[in-house]
Amino acid sequence: MSLPRDLYVGFTGSPLDRAEPARHDAGALAALAGNPAALLLDMPDYLPPTIDGALDWKPLPPLPAEELLLLGLIDGIPRFARIDPEAVAAKRWAELMTVLDNLSLGEAGTYAAARSVLDWHARHRFCANCGAKTAPHHAGWARLCLRCGTEHYPRTDPVVIMLAEYEGRVLIGRQPGFAPGRYSALAGFVEVGESIEEAVARELREEAGVIATAVRYVASQPWPFPSQLMIACIADVADDSVTLDMAELEDAKWVDRAEVETSLRGDEGAVFGAPPRYAIANSLFRAWLAGR
Ligand SMILES: [Zn+2]
């Protein structure tokens, strides 16, 4: 882990040892599943089962091999989730946000991995190559087409999220669906054929009409709704004139350090409502204040 210890990045820091070799070794997988200490993170509704702010693991019941998702080992104990063959794709419930506020950083990271993989299984029952049915493979970390033999792997979609910086201020924006008063860093999916730096520059130009002259990487985060990799950056820009794409943003404004500090603290009279602490936009604001 190369993250600065004082930079909190949501959904990172899981203590999982992913035990990758066991995914390709049926004997090793059976031994882990047959371990009487093996535990299950049971979440048929994709919500994390919790007890006292931690994940609530249950003894692993006997399950068919094709329903086993081997998450890995924690404290040397095998950890599994169940791939429900009838599951439907996850929705994002409002109550999940409250649950996440009460989970520790590493626990939320373990949950994020399990949720993204289970949700991917529910969305990928058929082969993108030939259309036939697929089945879980490699201890739940792949699916195998039962007709053409193509292997499919859980997807991770890269998204850049960035602060444009100009003369001691950063640009924040507001999407139409945000809670009242909420502003955040600008963001967008990395497109095929683009580098991270090029995606940052393109999104800033498209959404706000600002021209990036330099881009620096700050941190990244797995985001399990459903499976993005958020890549946080800060971009120097040529000037502070803004031309909004109203289809993407309903407002944007430049804020200085004091305004970001009061917003992160949630002070009365703060000029904007900051993103929640498990969102990497929150970490990005903190990194900027820390001079990174
Ligand atoms: Zn196929």
pLDDT for position 1: 38
pLDDT for position 229: 98
User: Residue 87, Cβ neighbours under 10 Å: how many?
Assistant: 17
End-to-end CA distance of the chain: 17
User: What's the average model confidence in pLDDT over 249-261?
Assistant: 97
- Its pTM stands at 0.94
* Gyration radius of the chain's alpha carbons: 21
**Residues near ion ligand 1 (Cβ under 5 Å):** 127, 129-130, 132, 145, 147-148, 150
| Gap from CA of 136 to ligand 1 centroid (Å) | 13
Specify the residue for token string 């048929």. 44
| Gap from CA of 62 to ligand 1 centroid (Å) | 30
| Gap from CA of 152 to ligand 1 centroid (Å) | 9
Quick check: 25 pLDDT over 80? yes
pLDDT in tens, 70-118: 999 999 999 999 999 999 999 877 778 788 888 988 999 999 999 999 9
Quick check: 31 pLDDT over 50? yes
Confidence band of 6 (pLDDT split at 50, 70, 90): low
pLDDT over 70 for what percent of the chain?
A: 98
| Gap from CA of 117 to ligand 1 centroid (Å) | 20
Q: Residues for the chain: how many in total?
A: 292
CA–chain centroid gap for 136, Å, is: 22
Quick check: 126 pLDDT over 70? yes
Closest of 148, 146, 140, 152 to residue 64, by C-alpha: 140
| Gap from CA of 119 to ligand 1 centroid (Å) | 20
- Dist. CA 163–CA 266, nearest whole Å: 20
Partnered with residue 51 across adjacent β-strands are 54
pLDDT for position 5: 54
User: Residue 113, Cβ neighbours under 10 Å: how many?
Assistant: 22
Quick check: 15 pLDDT over 60? yes
Is-contact 154 147, C-beta < 8 A? Answer: no
| Gap from CA of 290 to ligand 1 centroid (Å) | 50
Is-contact 118 62, C-beta < 8 A? Answer: no
pLDDT in tens, 142-172: 999 999 999 999 999 999 999 999 999 999 9
Quick check: 257 pLDDT over 70? yes
| Gap from CA of 21 to ligand 1 centroid (Å) | 25
Torsion sign, CA atoms 47, 53, 58, 63: positive
Task: Look at strands 77-82 and 39-40 and give their pairing.
Answer: parallel
pLDDT for position 98: 82
Confidence band of 20 (pLDDT split at 50, 70, 90): very high
- Dist. CA 144–CA 48, nearest whole Å: 27
Element (H, E) at 15: none
| Gap from CA of 143 to ligand 1 centroid (Å) | 10
Query: Residue type for 198, please?
Result: E
Quick check: 2 pLDDT over 50? no
| Gap from CA of 151 to ligand 1 centroid (Å) | 8
Q: Which residue has the higher pLDDT, 6 or 101?
A: 101
| Gap from CA of 123 to ligand 1 centroid (Å) | 15
pLDDT for position 3: 45
Closest of 134, 99, 129, 128 to residue 115, by C-alpha: 99
Quick check: 4 pLDDT over 70? no
User: What's the average model confidence in pLDDT over 185-211?
Assistant: 98
Is-contact 157 227, C-beta < 8 A? Answer: yes
